[in-house]
Amino acid sequence: MTVLKGARERRVPAGGVELCVAELGDPGRPTVVLVHGYPDSKEVWSEVAARLAGRFHVVLYDVRGHGGSTAPRPSRGGYTLEKLTDDFLAVADAVSPGRPVHLVGHDWGSVQGWEFVTVRRTEGRIASFTSVSGPSLDHFGHWIAERLKRPTPRRAAQLLGQGAKSWYVYALHTPVLPELAWRGPLGTYWPGILCRVEKPPTGGYPTASLPRDAAHGAWLYRDNVRARLRHPRTDAYAHVPVQLVTPLKDAFLSERLSDGLERWVPRLTRRTLPARHWVPRTRPDLLAGWITEFVTAVEDGRPETAASGAGGKHADRFGGQLVLVTGAGSGIGRATALAFARAGARVVAVDRDAGAAARTAEQARDAGAPAAWAETADVSDAQAMEELAARVTAEYGVVDVLVNNAGIGLAGSFFDTTPEDWKRVLDVNLWGVVHGCRLFGRRMAERGQGGHIVNVVSASAYQPSRALPAYSTSKAAVLMLSQCLRAELAGRGIGVTAVCPGFVATGITSTARFAGVGDEEEARLRRRAARLYGLRGCPPEKVADAILDAVAHDRAVVAVTPEARAARLLSRFLPGVSRAVARVKPPL
């Protein structure tokens, strides 16, 4: 029996077995069929199915020999891709007889899905396919053959790498031993192993049928892998739009397996995420969002949108994610919000200037964001940030990427800097980051599906200056906070990056405070600072690109400009020179 809450269950006969099928949602809506992998049952999809059920008719079924489905007799020859295709068509005919279904597969469910969308007899029964962590055996066979036929050091490394990752495939081809292991100690310890490695949410998975499922599922490999890899089909072209979801930390499959996949899939959307193999359990929010976006595009008759996705840099990584940027009304904040928008992210633009935030949100929508909202908040106000975090979570969801960018400038000698000056610069530059990390970071951690925090710091964090004691102190504190948080949150799948821009032409120079001078002299110094920064010629868009790269590659500290990188090298390897530079009086 299924443990999917609220599911309607039925039995579907197919090729000598009975398949256990569960349904959620309104049958009048588009049907999404979720196919599980090895050694799972349909319950691996419970978190994703619950999120899809409000929009679609969601169907899950246990593959033959798994969960509540019966097993073929004899086992040998009972799990071929041809028979699995028969099973899928039987389910599709039962749950959606007059309308094609949208197929989603994980692991061996994805391997099956590739077969379903590349054989002639399924044409017209499938509208789209989302593949997660499971290649086509035919495409895989050609991938191997090409690397053996035209070897290079890089291709040899790819073959060896995937060969090492596929150790379990060899083990499952041995007779009897896999069955004994799964029905014995491995079946007992597997849930604990999975929990320690993948850290999925608990509840209803794995099910009690795991040892039986895994023992039967060994025949998936024995009946299909060697035959297809040795003699892959040459007509394995996908006849539907395909969305490929690639976890970059998958211990079983190399991301290089999808190189050249466009040859076989004319309408291909690529998605990547920093996750391990069991994405349906560890990243259900993001995966459900991608499935929803893709299926909706196909249903609306926009296959070109489904195929191409967003056009900006890292669109495969950030499409559909929720990104919040503080200080988004201008400068680095606005450029960052727009860069994420071009990558297909949903954007929340936060600024204390409501009009500036609204303009950024509008530009983000024009740049390609599927949705963008403006929010007003002073990051130094703890209560305002509490309300902002509660409102954003309730209305838009848990933030996937947080960019703490809001900041103010303050120059002047230590003795000219008043306590009020210190309080103001620390409230915004340090406490604003603390509030953001605490409120939004806590929600990321509680959700348990990873995320990323970016704190925009400054090269002043590690390059002291006689003219910037308060500003440099605030930024040095944020740099240390970022590295402490990175250590604490690493085990929760949340990355933390400190970005140090250097001299960038932004509006901060026109609003910077200069301690110890009158209003007229402060205005002159602001104009001169803005002119000097402008002559440097580094636009905020360069920092925005660096931020997207840093999140995509989970970098700890990123110095953007040459002077920022040089200052970092001096602070680490020639601290005496760095201190000597600090004594130089700025040309203001």
- Report the relative pairing of strands 57-61 and 17-24 from DSSP bridges: antiparallel
- Report the relative pairing of strands 372-376 and 401-404 from DSSP bridges: unpaired
Report which secondary-structure segment, H or E, holds 61.
Answer: strand 57-61
Instruction: Report whether 9 contacts 22 (CB < 8 A).
Output: yes
What are the beta bridge partners of residue 495?
452
User: Catalytic: which of 79, 221, 471, 533?
Assistant: 471
Distance CA 253, CA 292 (A): 25
DSSP letters for 121-175: GGTTTEEEEEEES---HHHHHHHHHHHHHS--HHHHHHHHHHHHHTHHHHHHTSS
Would the CA dihedral through 430, 435, 438, 441 be positive or negative? negative
Give phi and psi for 579, each to the nearest 5: -70, -35
Token pair, residue 450, equals 């990873």
Would the CA dihedral through 223, 227, 228, 233 be positive or negative? negative
Distance CA 471, CA 426 (A): 8
Indicate the SS3 state at residue 267.
Answer: coil
CA angle 24, 27, 28 (to 5 degrees): 140
Q: With CA atoms as reference, report the closest residue to 557 among 503, 497, 477, 476.
A: 497
Amino acid residing at 40: D
Q: What is the dihedral of CA 226, 227, 231, 232, to 10 degrees?
A: -80
Instruction: Report whether 515 contacts 479 (CB < 8 A).
Output: no
Residue 135 burial (C-beta neighbours within 10 Å; 0-12, 13-18, 19+): buried
CB atoms within 10 A of CB 366: 11
Q: What is the dihedral of CA 305, 308, 312, 315, to 10 degrees?
A: 100
DSSP letters for 445-479: HHHTS-EEEEEE--GGGTS--TT-HHHHHHHHHHH
Q: Is 79 a catalytic residue?
A: no
Distance CA 480, CA 488 (A): 12
- How long is the chain? 588
E strand residue ranges, 172-219: none
Instruction: Report whether 162 contacts 256 (CB < 8 A).
Output: yes
Question: What are the catalytic residues?
Answer: 471
